[in-house]
Structure 1
Amino acid sequence: MSCTVWWEGAEKTRVLIASDSGCGGNKPGELLTLRHPKSENGTCYLFSNEMLQEIQWFKQSYGSWFLGDYISQDGSLYMATPIDPVFILLPIFDEARMKKGEDPGKFRQLDEILFVEGYPEYQHLLPLAEKSMQIVCQTQEVGSMKFYRLDNSKVLAWLTCKVSCLKKTLPELDKNYAAQGEKQTLVDAVSIVGEYLKTEPWLKLLYDHLGLEFVDPTMKETNTENLPNANENKMEYSNSSQEKANKKTGKPGKQTKQAKVETGSKNIRDMFSRACKKKC
């Protein structure tokens, strides 16, 4: 289910698809700028009815929206999907305990922890943090006050549970996962969860905890992006050979027939840009 909401006073019209729970009620929701848990870049999230959703962005080269009697020239599409707030709050709680070496760190109150310089909108997550962060924190109560401190063992147990659930779900979503071995599916699940974790310490600790060989996802993405396309190599080699032959004979050779490229075809992974790469 989705709903249509107009934000009054907006300078430009944008189309956002979100669940009813994310945009229902008296208020359509608030767009918060928070730090992405992995990149630490300022990132836009939708917060409404105590649900936090990350925003993904898709845009074709040409397109527009017909919204009733109104035409929006910007044909981009934003999609809001629920995200576990523990992922977003984990780096904040990690910094707040001020852990040094074997020292487990300090207990802090929530309003102190969520005071992040340059990001005042973390204060909106105070009720959400009170409900969700106990699963990865030790707590102490002094009178009417409650103090929190992140616990590594609880974080690893929570991450292991996330990976286990995802490992069971992946084969149901894609038959390719069902055809591969369990270990590779486990590696894929860790890789997906790792998109929301810093390499140090959480991602490395998770790999070690699960008995897997650590692979730096940043290096993997960089190497993949730098790999040349096989078809492009063949085309370049063919054109180069033809040019050399023409120079030797002094005759204009026939134009090399290039492989037909489908201009409207896109890789499905390129259709969406994660919130960490696009700020609203």
Structure 2
Amino acid sequence: MKTGLMFVKLVNPCSGEGAIYLFNMCLPQLFEVKVFKEKNHSWFINESVQSGGLLHFATPMDPLFLLLYYLIKADKEGKFQPLDQVVMDDMFPNCALLLKLPELEKLLRHVTEEKEIDKKKYYKYSKEKTLKWLEKKVNQTVAALKTNNINVSARVQSTAFFSGDQVSSDKEEDYIRYAHGLISDYIPKELSDALSKYLKLPEPPAAVPNPPSKPFSGTNLKSRTSPELAALYSQTSWWKTRSSGSRKASDRLFS
């Protein structure tokens, strides 16, 4: 802990299962830990070859996604509650570390309604505000995809079999659909479906009845490669913009 780095197990806001995260307690700052694994991979260490060449890398993560998970869960009670009573988890007690992150109240305004009683803040999940915030996240991700010249049409279309005339160059809808898929990795499925409707995404085109023996080559929507993710995180991370120090907190979140 001398370095201020701490690996903790917290809830995955999409699946509800446990996942490893990294806290920088000095800043403080939250990172998610990703594992890049190839079937045949090893490391050269000195003059020996070590098998099992997993690559772990940490990328800055917007903590609001994790807070959102608990806010949605607490909303079942239908009342305003103090944040320390919302962010509680017997399975993942380290979730309390989220309450130590900076500018927390400003972040919560994007996804909650709040009241103040006797100088104490109470919060309640707002689906309307959350969808607006997620729409901005999608637009932010679309901009990053375009900036990094990442082709998305093949990835969107590879989820089904398409005839030749259906496979086309990148369209705005493809960017939005792919960005929606990325954001959906950090929110519950019910909210992901609601976001899809909010974005007015049409249903995917019907698949060809008799697909060829070899499926259309491309990366599945859920099988994004680490270079793509690294490029996107470098563009879309709220924490990256936080260090600039020249913008207002509300601007940093959506830069």
Give the TM-score taking structure 1 as reference length: 0.61
List runs of 5+ in structure 1 lacking aligned partners: 1-6, 8-25, 100-104, 216-222, 232-265, 275-280
The corresponding residue for 2:74 is 96
The corresponding residue for 2:128 is 153
Q: Which of 38, 63, 75 lines up with 2:42 in the alignment? A: 63
The corresponding residue for 1:82 is 60
Give the TM-score taking structure 2 as reference length: 0.66
* 1:248-259 superposed matches below 5 A: none
- Larger Rg, first or second structure (1 or 2): 1
Q: Which of 133, 139, 145 lines up with 2:108 in the alignment? A: 133
The corresponding residue for 1:230 is 214
Cα separation, 2, equivalents of 1:88 and 1:172? 27
Report SS of the residue matched to 2:194. helix
Question: Which aligned segments of 4 or more residues in structure 1 are displaced greater than 6 angstroms?
Answer: 69-73
Cα separation, 1, equivalents of 2:17 and 2:98? 18
Q: 1:123 to 1:207 in 2, by over 3 A?
A: same
Q: CA deviation at 1:130?
A: 4.0
Cα separation, 2, equivalents of 1:32 and 1:132? 22
The corresponding residue for 1:190 is 180
Is 1:117 matched with 2:90?
yes
The corresponding residue for 1:33 is 9
Q: Which of 9, 12, 21 lines up with 1:45 in the alignment? A: 21
Q: Which amino acid aligns with 1:156?
A: L
User: What is the identity percentage for the equivalent residue pairs of Structure 1 and Structure 2?
Assistant: 27
The corresponding residue for 2:151 is 176
Cα separation, 2, equivalents of 1:192 and 1:204? 13
More helix by share: 1
Q: CA-to-partner distance for each residue in 1:92-151, whole Å, 9 max, x for gaps?
A: 11111225xxxxx21111111111121100011112244532321111111232111111
Cα separation, 1, equivalents of 2:17 and 2:75? 21
The two structures, once aligned, show a CA RMSD in angstroms of: 3.2
The corresponding residue for 2:32 is 54
Q: 1:63 to 1:177 in 2, by over 3 A?
A: closer
Q: CA-to-partner distance for each residue in 1:8-36, whole Å, 9 max, x for gaps?
A: xxxxxxxxxxxxxxxxxx53411111111
List runs of 5+ in structure 2 lacking aligned partners: 154-168, 230-255
Contact 1:56 1:78 in 2 (8 A): yes
Cα separation, 2, equivalents of 1:208 and 1:75? 41
Is 1:108 matched with 2:87?
no
Cα separation, 1, equivalents of 2:50 and 2:94? 29
Cα separation, 1, equivalents of 2:187 and 2:13? 6
Q: 1:71 to 1:196 in 2, by over 3 A?
A: same
